[in-house]
Structure formats: structure tokens, C-alpha cells
Structure 1
Amino acid sequence: MDLFRSEPVAQPLAARLRASNLDEYVGQEHLLARGKPLREALEQGALHSMIFWGPPGVGKTTLARLLAQFCDAHFETVSAVLAGVKEIRQAVDVARQQAAQYGRRTILFVDEVHRFNKSQQDAFLPFVEDGTLIFIGATTENPSFELNNALLSRARVYVLKSLDEAALRRLVQRALSDERGLGKRHLRVGDEAMQMLMAAADGDGRRMLNFLENASDLAEDGEEIDVAMLQSLLGDGRRRFDKGGEAFYDQISALHKSVRGSDPDAALYWYARMLDGGCDPLYIARRVVRMASEDIGNADPRALSLCLSAWDVQERLGSPEGELAVAQAITYIACAPKSNAVYMGFKAAMREAAEHGSLEVPLHLRNAPTKLMKQLGYGDEYRYAHDEPDAYAAGEDYFPEQLPPRPYYQPVPRGLELKIGEKLRHLAELDRNSPRQRRKP
């Protein structure tokens, strides 16, 4: 036996089943069906630089390879996880050789392009600009945030979607029938097992094929892969959720907007999705407290206390008891009367504080703890509100002298703010009738 002879490495099922032409490609009909934008560009030979943005396992790399094959272009690939400017320059040299010797265009495919920093991304620009390279980048993150504007302006962004049930079924059927896959073994997958496979895949074709391959290792040739086999493999599978990634921000946004829209059922759904995906419940609890201030405010001040209590319960008891308390808070604030008056008033005050600089505090509002301060007039003519009728110093002015009073806080006619608004209008009437009328806004 030759100890130094290397045996061929068995490829995973997903790699063996990689589509060899566009007709075998599964999913992304919104881009590749007849008459759709990317298909039209390909059939016309108008190959251009592009960015594929989509979740894992939806065919970004396969599609890039097929584009090169379809257009008879040389295909070079680098991974932004492992490569740097050196590898980019090597790819440029190869592209120049291909153009000089064979007259072929070169596609440079950069996987996980969002992992390149801005200066590394800039390294592509001259060669994309002069046509040396046709750049195709793949990313799971929002290109608007992760790629620089110069690169974005030179590439068209195509959004790839998670694979739907029809696409996932096609993949399983191909895997079971194609001799490159499991076709020689004559395996079957039952309906219930198929549903379990698709649920576990969560729109990720590569993930589903990996599950199917693992299950096939437990089955005899000609046997049916059943639920029991899959249960032993899948365990407690988590849905797609990446803290700090696009799915993370999309889902917390959906939760917040459901609360703001007074839909407790949708709010509970997005809360459950985030927990199911592995999100830290304490993060959600903190965001729920923010929602209570931003979207309910003084329309129902109890909302803030309830949300703080739910956060406290989550910290004290952990899961699952704490998660129920956070769910209680979410449903309460979703059903509560809504007001962003405090939020908007605070933003306006912060904006004017920044715009007007360091305006001095009027003398009558300053404390006078020393004799010198009293001699300088600190606190002179200050009216102590509790000594005034109804504990209100009508006509008094509390703004800096250079800044007329501003109505930052404007209560809405809902919840407790309905009463607060009535109170403020009454006080404004007292101001108007006071001999010491305050300056008008």
C-alpha cells in the first residue's frame, strides 16, 4: 500500500449537486425567469459588475459560476475571509493574461465581500473601471452599510431570496434522483419528514442538503427517510438570526413597528421569532423599555414601570419565566394609547440646545448659596411656585433671555395626555391673564 497516495476527498452532497446550467438552478425566479432583468442581460451578453445580496444557502456562488459559464468568461474566486490585496492583484494578473492570450473576459467572484475593509474594496475600483475585471460580490449583509459608495456605484445590486417550499422540494427530488447525489441508493422521503426537512432548512438549500445527507447515512438503500431519523439529527434547530446582521435589525424593527401599530399578535410573533433564533432576551427587554418611552410616553406612564419590571424579572429569573414577563410587557404596550410627544419634544429641545450654544441661566433662576452670589443678584425676583395661587407662578419665564419660550412638549389627545393637555392649556390661559405675562413663543 502506498502510504503517500492521497485518496480523493468525498464532496458534500450540496457540492455534488451544484447546478451545471441555468435550467438546473433552483430559486430566484424573480431574477432568472424569462423576461426578468438578470436573464435578459445575460441573453443579450451584457455582463456587468454586480453584487448578490441574500441569506446563506440560496445559490450566490453557484449563480456566479453559471454566469461565467453562460458568457464564456474565465472565473476567478477569492474569499474575503482569507484574502487580501495581494490575492486581488494576482487575480488582476490572471485576468490580463486571459484577455491577452484568449480574448476572454474574467469574472472575479468575491465571497463575503462585506468582510473587506474600505481600503481593500477600493483596490477593485481601477480594474472594474477599465474593464479588466467583471466584479461579482456576494454578501449576506446590507450593501448600503457594508460596501463603500464608489464600489456600489459601479455594480448593480441583485437581491436573492430565501428558497421557498417549491424550490426546496425540487432540491430534495434532485438529490434523490440524480446519480451525482443519492440517486443510486433509491431512497425516499415521506411527506411528514419532508415538512420537517424544509422547516429545519429555513430557506437555506445548502443546509437542507446537509441534513438530507446526514439522514441518508442512517438509512439502508431503498429505505424511506422518516421523522424518527430526522429528529435524531435535527435536535433544537435555530432559525436564521445573526446578532448584528441584517436579520437581527429587520426583526427588532418589525417588533417595534408592531408595538407602535397597536398589534399585540404581530408583536408576540416577532418576539417569538427572535427568541427562537437565539436572541438574548435581555436585549429585547431593554428595547421594550425604549418603546415604552418613545411610543407611549405620558399617554400611559404605567407602561414604563411595567417594562422595567419585566426587564428585572428577566434578569432575576432568566428563561423561560422571565420571557413570559417580557411578553406581558410587549402585549401591554402594544395595546396602550400611543404618544410620541415626549420623544419629539426631547429631540426638539436637544436640537435647539446644540444650535444656540451655551446660553446663560437667567439670574432669577440661579441659586445663591454665598453672600457674593446674593450681591450679584442671583435668585433675585424668583417666585416660589408653592407660595403662588394654585402653586403656579403665572407669567413666569424659565427660558434663557436670548431664547423665547418654546412648546417642545405637545401632548396628544389620547390616554393620560388628554388630561395633561387640558392642564397645560389652563396654565397657558393663566399666563395670558397675568400682569407678568411671559414672552410669547
Structure 2
Amino acid sequence: MQGGLFDPLADVSQPLAARLRPRSLADYVGQSHLVGDQKPLRRAVESGQLHSMILWGPPGVGKTTFARLLSENAGIAFETLSAVLAGVKDIRAAVEQARNRRAQFGQDTLLFVDEVHRFNKAQQDAFLPHIEEGTILFVGATTENPSFELNSALLSRTRVYVLKPLAADELQQLVTRALEAPEGLGGRIQLGDGVGDVLVAAADGDARRVLNILEVASDLAEPQGDHAVITRDILQQVLQTSLRRFDKGGDVFYDQISALHKALRGSDADGSLYWFCRMLDGGCDPLYLARRLLRIASEDIGNADPRALSITRDAWDVQERLGSPEGELALAQAVVYLALAPKSNAVYKAFNECMASIRHQPDYPVPIHIRNAPTGLLEELGHGAEYRYAHDEPQAFAAGEAYLPEELHGTRFYRPSGRGLEAKLAEKQAYLDKLNAESDRPRYPGKR
């Protein structure tokens, strides 16, 4: 069993985050909703009634630490696999070792699988019989949504626990422990005025990150008597080379683009600008954001303000031509415009409704009066007969003319809203409907 990380005299050459791993649940910081007093998971741990589980949460919130504490508290062996490096062969070897350990020493095994979402279906399935037989206590860690990334068979044999980013006071508790604990910095380092708040804010809920930043900054601390001080300038030097948490393609990424879209749809310019800047700050490709903004201009604004599409396309063009920061400023201009523009999803709904109608109905023929007649034979067959050229009609509108298949006559897909320019379009549509209703011309002339 690997217990070195829980030894108070652990090798000081280890990273600070490793040296400060808690040795009991009482020392575990964060996740009070799971392991606080009288919480179900804590009671299960303390009573020894353990079960296989999935720990889902962002990096640096204590997934690996919690798994180690489970094994320590239960007195069972701790084995670990990384889905980034391991394959089915490694899974079989770990299971065989667990089986031999039980046979020889009567000791159970907790198998911790880091980044479990990276295993494919076959690899995930390889755990199933061993979980059912009780050969291993399976604990998987993932930063991705288990509902999308893990097999239903594996999920049915485990319980999913959601771990949250650490709150500011929890991170401050870690910093204080790191500064004072003998296995940490042992009181040799102090923080200058306001440095603690900046450090905690920069960590963004990530315990490992706050300790890593603190460790790097401590190497640069300015000596002052029997201790050294981390100043704001030193901390800023360290932070200049680090980025906020932003997992492209992961849950954080999609949560933030979802927040941007919803803020734009909700006409909140400040919220929209905030999430746009958060994604830029995290390293998101500005062209990805440009594509999403263009989609929003059509989906959520549409004909209520057609200029939104042009303004967004122009901002995309500026980004491609000039890059940063000029392009990002142009995109920010588009973000604010989209947020405050009148909203309508009428075209979006009409498009989806029309596509659904086409998929679920027969392939109706083109009405004969609006068919093409490039040859004499087709003219004889009546193609284009009695077609009315709209430009020759009063107001350039052939009242009573029909353009949908006869079976769909009267179907209305596009229903303009009463907002922005669409209010005018709705008036125009109502006026044309009135002219059609008053016309006595045949709607499908020449049909056979």
C-alpha cells in the first residue's frame, strides 16, 4: 500500500501539493456537501460500507486525495491506473494483483482510475465483472460529464458524486496550512499585504493550482530577516505565465459558451461581454467565438434586425485580417450589439419546422404552373402554363398565385414576431394574405 504521501515527514523534495495531502477526512478541505458531518458519503466511509463510485469534478478539487483517504480509512490497498497511459492489459494486471492480494493476505483493493473518461467502451467494459464480483473497489475520476463519456453499464454499477471548485475561504485555509505546516513551508515564508486575496482569486477554485503558484512564488520570495516575503510584484511575475482554467472540449468550455449564448439571448450586454472575455482569457480561439456569434445572429435575432448578421460577419473579417487585439475588440463590439438587438427566433423555428415537414411527408411534385419548360415537349405538357410573372402584376405581387405543393396549400412555416424589423414584415405578410384571400384567380391553374 502506498502511504508515503500521508507521512508527516514526507520527502521535502516532493511538490508542495503532494506534501500537504491530508492524512484523514478531518484534514480534507472542501466538498463539505459530500464529506461534511453526517453527510451520507462520510457516514459510508466511517462505517466501512464502501461502494464503487465516480468522482466528477474539475481539476484540483481533491478527487485523487479523496480516493487515497478512502483506502487509508478502510485499511485496504491502493492501486492506481491512468486512462491516458493504460490499456486492457494493464487493467487485467491490476485486477490479477488485487485477486492475489486477497488470496494471500486477505486484503481488499481500491483501484483508482484517473481520467476514466479517456477509456473507450471496451476498456470500460473490462472493469464490469470485477466490480460485480467485488474483486476491486472501483473509484473513477473524471473532469467530463459521466452521462456523455461513460458507458451506461459502468454507471449502473457505480454512484456518481459531483465535486465542486473550492470556495475562497477553503483555498485560504489551504494557503495558511501550506505556510505554517512543517511539511509545507514551515513558517519560513510570509505573504505581503493583499497577496493572499490575489493568490486565491488566481487559483480559480483549484487547490493544486493555489499550492503550485505559492510554491513557485516562494522560490522568488524576498529575504527579510529570518523569513522571506512574497510581494504583489513577485506574485504577478508568477501569474503572467499561467492561464485560468479552460478545458477546450470539456465541460468548462461548453458551460462557458452556453453562458455566453444565454446571456446574448437574454439581452444582457454585461453578462455577454463577461463570458466572451472569460473565454478569450482562457485561450479560446477567437474565430470559434466568431462562428458562434454568427450562428446567434441568425438563430436568436434573425429578421428582427438583419444588420446583426452583417455586423458579426464584419467583426469576423476584422479578426481574420488583423488578429489580436483589434479583431477581439471588433468581436466585442458585435457581442454588445447582438445582446441589445431585438430578438426573434421566428426564422430558426420556421427552418426547423419546414425541415421536419419535408422529412416526414411524401416528395410532393412541383405544381405544374411553376415548373420549368426548357423544351417544346414540356410546354405541350403544360409546364409553366398560366404562370404569372410577378413583376407584371400590380405591386409586383401575383395575388392568388400558389407556390407550395397543392397538398400543403395554406401551410404557414414563418411567423414573424412583433419585434424590430419583423414587426414590419408581419404587417407585410398580413397584407399579402389579404390580397390572396380577395383574389378570384385559380391557385393551381393547368393542373392535370
- Specify the TM-score bucket, using the shorter chain as the normaliser: over 0.9
Q: Which runs of 5+ in 2 are unaligned?
A: 1-10
1-structure distance, mates of 2:442, 2:338: 40
Q: Displacement of 1:231 after TM fit?
A: 2.4
Q: Show the 5 A alignment for 1:167-246.
A: 167-183=170-186, 186-219=188-221, 220=223, 222-246=227-251
CA displacement 1:323-348 (0-9 Å, x = unmatched): 11111111111111110000000001
Q: Displacement of 1:416 after TM fit?
A: 1.1
Q: Displacement of 1:245 after TM fit?
A: 1.3
Structure 1 residue corresponding to 2:374, chosen from 369, 374, 392: 369
Q: Displacement of 1:200 after TM fit?
A: 2.4
| 1:407 and 2:409 correspond | no
| 1:28 and 2:31 correspond | yes
Moved more, 421-430 or 409-418: 421-430
1-structure distance, mates of 2:220, 2:302: 57
CA displacement 1:346-397 (0-9 Å, x = unmatched): 0011111112243322221111122222222221121211222222222222
What residue in structure 1 maps to residue 6 of structure 2? none
What residue in structure 2 maps to residue 328 of structure 1? 333
What residue in structure 2 maps to residue 302 of structure 1? 307
Structure 2 residue corresponding to 1:385, chosen from 387, 390, 409: 390
2-structure distance, mates of 1:239, 1:131: 40
1-structure distance, mates of 2:372, 2:28: 76
SS in 1 for 2:54: strand
Q: Show the 5 A alignment for 1:249-328.
A: 249-328=254-333
- Report the AA paired with residue 99 of structure 2: R
| 1:140 and 2:146 correspond | no
What residue in structure 1 maps to residue 4 of structure 2? none
Query: Alpha carbons of 1:364 and 1:96: their partners in 2 closer, same or farther (altered >3 Å)?
Result: same
SS in 2 for 1:23: helix
SS in 2 for 1:358: coil
- Report the AA paired with residue 246 of structure 1: D
Check conservation: 1:80, 1:115, Cα contact below 8 A.
yes
Q: Displacement of 1:107 after TM fit?
A: 1.5
Structure 2 residue corresponding to 1:58, chosen from 57, 61, 72: 61
CA displacement 1:288-313 (0-9 Å, x = unmatched): 11111000111111111111111111
Return the TM-score normalized by structure 1: 0.93
2-structure distance, mates of 1:41, 1:431: 73
SS in 1 for 2:27: coil
Check conservation: 1:394, 1:437, Cα contact below 8 A.
no
Work out the percentage of aligned pairs sharing the same amino acid. Answer: 63
1-structure distance, mates of 2:114, 2:232: 35
2-structure distance, mates of 1:422, 1:40: 66
Q: Displacement of 1:401 after TM fit?
A: 3.3
- Report the AA paired with residue 322 of structure 1: G
1-structure distance, mates of 2:128, 2:363: 46
What residue in structure 1 maps to residue 351 of structure 2? 346
CA displacement 1:32-78 (0-9 Å, x = unmatched): 11122321322333311111111111111000010112222222110
Q: Displacement of 1:213 after TM fit?
A: 1.4
- Report the AA paired with residue 210 of structure 1: N
CA displacement 1:172-224 (0-9 Å, x = unmatched): 111111111111x5221124221222222222111221121122222345122
SS in 2 for 1:410: coil
- Report the AA paired with residue 305 of structure 1: S
What residue in structure 1 maps to residue 164 of structure 2? 161
What residue in structure 2 maps to residue 98 of structure 1? 101
Moved more, 48-57 or 366-375: 366-375
Q: Displacement of 1:117 after TM fit?
A: 0.9
| 1:19 and 2:22 correspond | yes
Q: Which runs of 5+ in 1 are unaligned?
A: 1-7
SS in 2 for 1:48: coil
2-structure distance, mates of 1:270, 1:438: 52
What residue in structure 1 maps to residue 122 of structure 2? 119
Check conservation: 1:397, 1:405, Cα contact below 8 A.
no
Query: Alpha carbons of 1:436 and 1:42: their partners in 2 closer, same or farther (altered >3 Å)?
Result: farther
Q: Displacement of 1:256 after TM fit?
A: 0.6
Q: Displacement of 1:9 after TM fit?
A: 9.0
Query: Alpha carbons of 1:81 and 1:9: their partners in 2 closer, same or farther (altered >3 Å)?
Result: farther
Check conservation: 2:12, 2:19, Cα contact below 8 A.
no
- Report the AA paired with residue 70 of structure 1: N
The size of the alignment, in residue pairs, is: 431
Q: Displacement of 1:438 after TM fit?
A: 4.8
